[in-house]
Structure 1
């Protein structure tokens, strides 16, 4: 059996430190720090309504032919607090507040998207279409 020598130990420590730094830096560089100022609600791919995230505590009931969802806007964040869908994934998703974050309720075909800026459709164009 081969013994670990001092050089091997130094190499292992250096690799662990570099790996940790890589993870920390990638999280820091790739994270979206842009807080959104609007929440856009879509049903069946059509924009249903847009609300300001600057409002203090507001509940919004969104009705669709497939069911309903109740959203809560509070402290510049939004979440789904109630839905009649069977899996309740949208309810358990929690708060979103950064531009680009979404909550999706597939059974009710609801998309809640946080956007920022004047043009809320900016960056949402299709990259390509396949047939």
Structure 2
């Protein structure tokens, strides 16, 4: 290896390090909100950042009923009358990109 090779490696590592610092410091900033859709129709857009207390929503249609709880800065499906209960077992969603889906009821909760 020559001196120029070491300089090139050092510059590339520095650029990667700066990119990583930028990515990790800016991904969790901003307002998080939960978007609830059913049958591709947006029902609710709920801000999660700064939310305190507990709030329950009951969504009912011809497919069935889901009970959704917003607690603190997280959201979860706490009860459903679908046969598999995957949405209930998914747990809480709080980070950007978290998704809760109830396919029998065509319900989708996304944290954005």
- TM-score normalised over the length of structure 1: 0.59
Secondary structure in 1 matching 2:78: strand
Q: Structure 1 regions of 5+ residues with no counterpart?
A: 1-28, 116-131
Equivalent positions of 1:46-65 (< 5 A) are 46-53=41-48, 54-65=51-62
Task: Say which of 20, 28, 44 aligns to 1:34.
Answer: 28
Contact 1:37 1:52 in 2 (8 A): yes
Superposed CA deviations along residues 86-107 of structure 1, whole A, max 9, x for unmatched, are 0001001101101111000000
Q: How many residues were matched structurally?
A: 86
Specify the alignment match of 1:111 in structure 2: 108
Distance 1:58 1:43 in 2: 19
> TM-score, length-normalised on structure 2?
0.69
Superposed, 1:35-114 pairs within 5 Å as 37-53=32-48, 54-114=51-111
Deviation at 1:114, TM superposition (A): 0.7
More strand by share: 2
Counterparts of 1:64 and 1:102 in 2: how far apart (Å)?
21
CA-atom RMSD, angstroms?
2.1
